[in-house]
Amino acid sequence: MAKPGLFEKRLLFVSGKGGVGKSTVCAALGLAASRMGKRPLIVEMDEKERISRLFGSPEVGYDGAFVYQNIFVRNLLPMNVMDEFVEIQVGIKRIARQIIGSPIYQYFVLAAPGLKEFVTLGKIMLLEEEKERGSTPKYDIIIVDAPATAHGVAFLRVPFAAAGAVKSGFVRRQADRLIDLITDPARTALNIVTLPEEMPVNETVEMCRSVEDLLGIPIGCIIINSVFPQVLKKRDTAVFDIMKQRAQADGLQKLTRAERKTAAAMFECFEAAMRRRELNEFYISKLKRMLDYEFIKIPFVFSKSFDITLIEQVSANMMEALGK
Tens-binned pLDDT, residue by residue, of the chain (324 aa):
344 588 999 999 999 999 999 999 999 999 999 999 999 999 999 888 999 999 999 999 999 999 998 999 999 998 888 888 888 888 778 887 888 888 887 877 777 788 889 999 999 999 999 988 778 899 999 999 999 888 889 999 999 999 988 888 888 999 999 999 999 999 999 999 999 999 999 999 999 998 988 888 999 999 999 999 887 776 766 666 666 666 665 666 666 667 667 777 777 787 788 889 999 999 999 999 999 999 999 999 888 778 899 999 999 988 888 876
**Residue 36, CB-side half-sphere exposure with 13 Å CA sphere:** 19
Residue 2: per-residue pLDDT: 40
Q: What pLDDT digit, counting tens, does each position of 225-266 carry?
A: 999 988 777 676 666 666 666 666 566 666 666 766 777 777
What does pTM read for this prediction?
0.88
Q: Do the domain assignments include residue 249?
A: no
Residue 97: per-residue pLDDT: 83
Residue 229: per-residue pLDDT: 86
Rounded CA gap, 159 and 177, in Å? 9
Q: Do the domain assignments include residue 256?
A: no
Nearest CA to 62 out of 44, 75, 47 is that of 75
**Residue 57, CB-side half-sphere exposure with 13 Å CA sphere:** 19
Rounded CA gap, 78 and 154, in Å? 15
Rounded CA gap, 223 and 211, in Å? 16
Q: Do the domain assignments include residue 271?
A: no
Please, which residues have CB within 8 angstroms of residue 269's CB and are 6 or more apart in sequence? none
Q: Specify which residues 65 forms β-bridges with.
A: 73
Q: Do the domain assignments include residue 278?
A: no
Indicate which CATH number applies to the domain containing 126: 3.40.50.300
Q: Do the domain assignments include residue 238?
A: no
Three-state secondary structure string covering the chain: CCCCCHHHCCEEEEEECCCCCHHHHHHHHHHHHHHCCCCEEEEECCCCCCHHHHCCCCCCCCCCEEEECCEEEEECCHHHHHHHHHHHHHCCHHHHHHHHCCHHHHHHHHHCCCHHHHHHHHHHHHHHHCECCCCCECCCEEEEECCCHHHHHHHHHHHHHHHHHCCCCHHHHHHHHHHHHHCCCCCEEEEEEECCCHHHHHHHHHHHHHHHHHHCCCEEEEEEEEECCCCCCHHHHHHHHHHHHHHHHHCCCCCCHHHHHHHHHHHHHHHHHHHHHHHHHHHHHHHHHHCCCEEEEEECCCCCCCCHHHHHHHHHHHHHHHCC
For residues 82, 83, 87, 90, the Cα torsion angle rounded to the nearest 10 degrees is 70
Residue 240: per-residue pLDDT: 63
> How many domains are contained in the chain?
1
Q: Specify which residues 222 forms β-bridges with.
A: 192, 295
Q: Do the domain assignments include residue 242?
A: no
Residue 1: per-residue pLDDT: 32
Q: Do the domain assignments include residue 287?
A: no
**Residue 111, CB-side half-sphere exposure with 13 Å CA sphere:** 6
Residue 268: per-residue pLDDT: 79
Q: Do the domain assignments include residue 67?
A: yes
Q: Residue 209: which domain range?
A: 6-228+292-322
